[in-house]
Chain A
Amino acid sequence: MEQILANGVYLGSQYAMIALGLTLIFALMNVLNFAHGQMYVIGGFVTYTFYGQWGVPFVLALVMSCVTLAILGALIEKFLFAPVIKGSAREESTMLLAAGIAFFLDAVILLVFGEKQRGVPKIVDGVFNWDFRIIMPYDRILICLLAILSIVAFIGLMQYTKTGRALRALAQDRTAAQLMGVNVDRYSMIGFALGAMLAGLVGGLLVTITGVNLGMGGPTSIKAFMMVMIGGAGVISGAIWGGIILGFMEAIGLALLYQYGDITYLLIFVSLMIFLAIRPQGLMGKPWG
């Protein structure tokens, strides 16, 4: 049981990080960013290149992932999403654009980083072993702590800074925020950059554990969407809860149901369908959006 809890906390923290950026972008712009997984992959590859290949200290490589993705996110918002949102009232326009960006980024990743699985040296050696009741490598513990710290820092930024207040205002009511003097265009770009940066950050963190490869983008996006749907689309706390719930469901399912084959995700999807049928707005979302 202790091992299940430890695995659940670890998986939940990394999943929550992945979902945060996605839900932030949705909250600010009503955009389902299908390219979120690809941004996560690019973040992993940037850290791989700086830390794994060029020997740059890990923290600096992580910063480079964040900066790269923030710039990429800002450019995507300014030159792609912003014009489409202004020019089309149809929501599917941004969905198609996001899907197109995902395919494009996949192609770029293949061209620049190749088809192989990549990994980096461990940032911490050794394994924590509590009498075989909990076995957890130290690097996973460290990454879990860093993920939790990042989530706390993000919440702090959103709650206590001028930028955070502007972003929250934008998420609550775009028109009202504009009337109150919030520069909507500027903060939309900042918000998208922040969401992309979170994808880059978690990609950079997790490349030390899971490695990274070209094909991770799509499945990562799907998982992120599941977490957001569980927690409630566009709600920060919902994304965190969604991540934690999915992490624990996965840990419990893999530990207790393995003898029945790979039915963990089958049950998770069934549970999600039933849950959404009862509560379509998710745990923390509001029925009116």
Chain B
Amino acid sequence: MQRRSFVKTAMAAVAVTAIGATAAVAENPVLKIGFVGVTSGPAAAWGISNQRSMETRAAWINETGGYTIGDTTYDIEIVSFDDQKDPKRAIAGMEKMAQEGIHYVVGPNVDDGAAAVRPVAESNGIMYFPYAFPKSLYEAPASNAVLGMVANYQSGPAIYKYLMAEEGVKTVAFVAANESDPLSQRDGGVEAAKALGLEVVSDNVTYQVDTTDFTPVLTPVMRARPDLLVLSGVSPANAPQLIRSARELGYEGVISTETAQDAGVLAEGAGDLANGFISVGGASTPELASPAMNEFVQRYTDMFGEYNDESNTKVYALEYILETLKADPAAITDVDAFQATMDTFEAPNPFMNGDAKLRYVGMTSFGQKRQVAVPLVVNVYQNGTFETLFVAEVD
């Protein structure tokens, strides 16, 4: 069980519990922030990296005296709910948040869950930060969802343009799991690729989400000999196996995805075969990560035994919520005030070097500011780590 020992994990669990327990007796009042997402089953890695990012940041804030909003300093408590990637459970989770009087929730992680909770969130005055891409969640009349990351229809074209210019890519093939998120990401990618003038040589190969051996899946794709193979919406669990199978089948072109990945998982699952794999990440490459980001990574590792590179993106949602509340303390119980503040909100980005800002974007994609301005950092995997390929901004 490598560095993560049972004892260490158990201690982390006890520590998290203790934080919750002590919050009740601490001098500071408690500000509850919710998380509704998938923390069990095949997609557990997505939600667990969310939850642990929030718990790490909350523990850090509480340890250093709390978070001051207006005249009050709060301890932060994370209230989590595992929706098991089931929309019905996601609704139940959002209802639980409403019952606990929580107005700010991170999640859900997938499209159908995010769509399902919309009525509950809007009728109960809850702002939520999904990791789901359907534009209808963020376009008016929808009002309470804020996209917590960069969408594939924003990162995909940027990656394709870069590869066309730098690598001479002319043909592309898409492979996706047979479920809603990857399929919609594939369709968006195909549309973007065609708009850019790429020739799409294969876009109908899909695989079951529980597939473990991708050699038979990829064999027909390899016959098309694309310059670029896009793994649409690929989960971190499947990415190494897909890369490995493609390379073992003799594929020598570029492989990319628009989802966040974990370098350790790629190293273990595909080794050197993953070199050159392009994915979207956050701000943890050495040249971008600020001292605060490095401390976050260290604290996360200390708390849970092992860092997850997906948290490079997922560290942001809680920070956005708290900083926006700090900008307008009335928003703690009034999401209308929160929404009004979003239009003009701006604060320093603590996790990136330079003068990067936290601000809400989305005017181009959604017609209103309903997206956090996470940096669009495109990484390339090389020998066990990610290197920054280029950085861009959404909107």
Which residues of chain A have a CB within 8 Å of any CB of chain B?
3, 7, 10-11, 14, 45, 49, 52-53, 106, 110-122, 127, 129, 132, 135-137, 140, 206, 209-211, 213-216, 218-220, 250-251, 254-255, 258-262, 265
Contact = CB atoms under 8 A, between A and B. Distances in A.
B264 interface: yes
Looking at chain A's contact residues, the main secondary structure is helix
Contacts of B269: 117-119, 211
A112 B13 CA distance: 12
Given A52-B268, A112-B9, A116-B236, A210 B248 contact: no
A254 B217 contact: yes
Interface in B59-78: none
B288 interface: no
Q: On chain B, which size bracket covers the interface?
A: 35 or more
B248 A114 contact: no
B220 A114 contact: no
7 contacts: A7-B216, A115-B49, A116-B237, A117-B237, A136-B215, A211-B212, A262-B206
Interface stretch (B40-48, B319-327, B348-356): B40-48
A11 B213 contact: yes
B1 interface: yes
B219 A3 contact: yes
B44 A250 contact: no
A3 B2 CA distance: 37
A261 B186 CA distance: 13
Contacts of A116: 45, 236-237, 262, 264-265, 306, 308
B178 to A, nearest CB: 4
Interface in B8-22: 9-10, 13
Contacts of B13: 111
Contact of A111 (B2, B10, B219, B250): B10
Interface string B342-360: 0000000000000000000
B248 A137 contact: yes
B240 A119 contact: yes
A133 to B, nearest CB: 12
A241 B206 CA distance: 27
B6 interface: yes
A120 B2 CA distance: 12
Contacts of A120: 268
Which 6 pairs of residues, A with B, have the shortest CB-CB distance? Answer: A215-B42, A219-B210, A119-B269, A210-B212, A117-B237, A119-B268
Interface string B239-276: 01100000011100000000000101100111100000
Interface in B273-290: none
A215 B208 contact: no
Contacts of B10: 111
Contacts of B210: 215-216, 218-220
Given A3-B219, A122-B271, A115 B2 contact: no
B366 interface: no
Contact of B241 (A7, A112, A211): A211
A117 to B, nearest CB: 4
B383 interface: no
Given A110-B44, A112-B1, A259 B204 contact: yes
B42 A140 contact: no
A260 B203 CA distance: 11
Contact of A115 (B1, B48, B217, B219): B48
B1 A113 contact: yes
B208 A255 contact: no
Contacts of B305: 114
Nearest to B262: A116
B164 interface: no
A49 B1 contact: yes
B169 interface: no
B248 A258 contact: no
A214 B1 contact: no
A260 B250 CA distance: 25
Given A250-B216, A261-B204, A261-B206, A117 B45 contact: yes
B52 to A, nearest CB: 9
Given A117-B237, A262-B206, A214 B41 contact: yes
Given A116-B308, A210-B212, A258-B205, A215 B44 contact: yes
Nearest to B273: A122
Contacts of A14: 213
B294 to A, nearest CB: 21
A119 B207 contact: no
B44 A135 contact: no
Q: Which of A110, A135, A262 gathers most chain B CB within 10 Å?
A: A262
Contacts of A220: 210
A234 B323 CA distance: 61
Nearest to B268: A119
B194 interface: no
Nearest to A14: B213
B204 A251 contact: no
Given A114-B4, A122-B271, A259-B204, A209 B213 contact: yes
A137 B247 CA distance: 10
